C-alpha cells in the first residue's frame, strides 16, 4: 500500500465543535414540543460519547431540514463512525451509521456501511440481510449501546463474505444490463415488473455501465454494482423526461434518508445476482 493510500485510510475524526457545525440536532437538549411527557429524551451527543468509548470515531454528520418550527433542530439525523480494526485490503472501510431523532420519528438505529476510497463513495448494507440494530430511548444505558454495537460488529464478517462473493461472481452482458435496469428502477422508485420496459426507453443503459476508473473494470458483480451505484447516487447520467420529450441530467441524491434507502435497495438488487449465478452454476 503506497503512502498516499495509507494516508487516506487514516481515520480523521470530527471534534464536538465540528459535529455541532455540521449537525446541530446532535446537541439538542429538549425533545420536540408536541411530544408527550412520557417521551424519554436522550441527547444524541451522549450516545456518540458512549460509542467513542467502544473505539468508534465519528467522521461525518448530517441532518434533515425541518419543515416546521416545532421540529427545527429535532428531526432525524445521522452520524457516521469508523473503526481502525475494520478495513479491507481493497481500500474499503466498514462504517457504522447512527440514526436518531428528537421529534419521535426514530429510535436510535445502527446500520452498517462500506466506504470505497477509490471513488470516495459510500454503500449502505441492506438491513434485512445484515441486521440493523435499534436501541430504545426509554431506559437507555451504556450497557444497551454496547450490546447494540457488539451485535452489529458480529455481522461485519457477513459483510466481508458477501462482498467477496460479489467479487467472485462474473456477470454476462445480459445480466449486467438487467442489473443496471433494476437499479435504475430503484433510483426512480419504480416497480421493475411493471415499468422497466418504459424506463429502458428513457435511459442509455450503457451509460450506467460505463467504466470511469481502472479499479472498476471488468464484468465482476462487485465492480459492475459499484459502477452503477456511483452513477445513480451521484447523478449526471442522461434520461428522457417523458413530460417534455427532452433529455436531462439526473441530479445527485443529497438527502441522507433517500441516499440510505436507495443504497440499501441497490445492495439487495446486487445480492440477487449472487443467488441467480449460484443457481445457474
Count CA within 13 A, CB hemisphere, residue 50: 19
d(C-alpha 60, C-alpha 104), whole Å: 23
Q: Which residue has the higher pLDDT, 179 or 198?
A: 179
Across-strand partners of 203?
A: 239
| Phi and psi at residue 220, to the nearest 5° | -65, 140
DSSP string for 52-71: HHTT-EEEEEEEPPPSSGGG
pLDDT in tens, 251-265: 999 888 888 889 889
Q: Is 128 exposed, middle or buried (0-12, 13-18, 19+ CB in 10 A)?
A: exposed
| Cβ pair 238, 214 in contact under 8 A | no
pLDDT tens digits for range 110-140: 988 887 765 455 666 655 555 578 887 778 8
Q: Residues in the chain, how many?
A: 281
- Average pLDDT value over all residues in the chain: 84
Q: Is the pLDDT of residue 190 over 60?
A: yes
pTM over 0.95: no
Cell numbers for 206, please give them. Answer: 450503457
Q: Which pLDDT score is estimated for 42?
A: 86
What's the mean pLDDT in 215-230?
90
Question: 253: which 3 cell numbers?
Answer: 441524491
Banded pLDDT at 275 (limits 50, 70, 90): low
pLDDT of residue 1: 45
3-state secondary structure of 228: helix
- Angle at which helix 173-187 crosses helix 192-202, to 10 degrees, equals 100
pLDDT above 50: residue 281: no
Residue 272 backbone phi and psi in degrees, to 5: -65, -25
How far is it, in rounded angstroms, from Cα 145 to Cα 116?
27
C-alpha cell at 233: 447516487
- Distance, CA of 30 to CA of 98 (rounded, Å): 19
The gap from C-alpha 153 to its chain's centroid, in whole angstroms, comes to 16
**What DSSP string runs through 102-126?**
SSSS--EEEEEEEEETTTTEEEE--
Phi, psi for residue 243 in degrees, rounded to 5 = -85, -35
Ranges of H-type helices in 188-255: 192-202, 205-209, 221-234
The Cα 68–Cα 78 span in angstroms is 19
Amino acid at each position: 500500500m503506497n503512502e498516499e493510500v495509507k494516508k487516506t485510510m487514516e481515520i480523521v475524526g470530527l471534534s464536538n465543535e465540528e459535529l455541532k457545525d455540521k449537525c446541530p440536532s446532535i446537541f439538542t437538549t429538549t425533545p420536540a414540543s408536541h411530544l408527550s411527557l412520557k417521551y424519554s429524551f436522550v441527547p444524541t451527543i451522549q450516545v456518540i460519547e458512549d460509542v467513542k468509548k467502544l473505539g468508534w470515531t465519528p467522521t461525518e454528520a448530517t441532518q434533515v431540514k425541518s419543515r416546521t418550527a416545532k421540529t427545527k433542530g429535532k428531526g432525524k439525523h445521522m452520524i457516521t463512525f469508523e473503526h481502525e480494526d475494520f478495513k479491507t485490503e481493497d481500500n474499503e472501510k466498514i462504517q457504522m451509521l447512527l440514526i436518531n431523532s428528537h421529534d419521535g420519528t426514530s429510535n436510535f438505529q445502527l446500520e452498517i456501511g462500506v466506504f470505497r476510497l477509490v471513488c470516495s463513495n459510500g454503500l449502505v448494507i441492506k438491513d434485512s440481510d445484515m441486521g440493523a440494530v435499534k436501541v430504545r430511548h426509554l431506559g437507555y444505558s451504556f450497557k444497551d449501546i454496547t450490546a447494540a454495537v457488539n451485535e452489529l460488529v458480529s455481522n461485519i464478517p457477513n459483510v466481508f463474505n458477501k462482498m467477496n462473493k460479489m467479487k467472485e461472481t462474473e456477470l454476462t452482458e445480459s445480466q449486467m444490463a438487467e442489473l443496471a435496469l433494476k437499479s435504475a428502477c430503484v433510483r426512480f422508485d419504480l416497480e421493475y415488473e411493471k415499468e422497466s420496459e418504459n424506463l429502458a426507453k428513457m435511459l442509455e443503459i450503457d451509460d450506467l455501465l460505463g467504466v470511469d476508473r481502472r479499479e472498476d473494470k471488468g464484468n465482476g458483480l462487485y465492480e459492475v454494482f459499484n459502477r452503477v451505484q456511483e452513477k445513480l447516487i451521484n447523478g449526471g447520467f442522461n434520461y428522457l423526461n417523458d413530460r417534455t420529450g427532452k433529455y436531462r441530467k439526473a441530479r445527485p441524491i443529497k438527502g441522507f434518508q433517500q441516499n440510505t434507502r436507495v443504497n440499501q435497495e441497490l445492495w439487495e438488487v446486487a445480492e440477487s445476482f449472487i443467488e441467480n449465478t449460484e443457481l445457474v452454476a
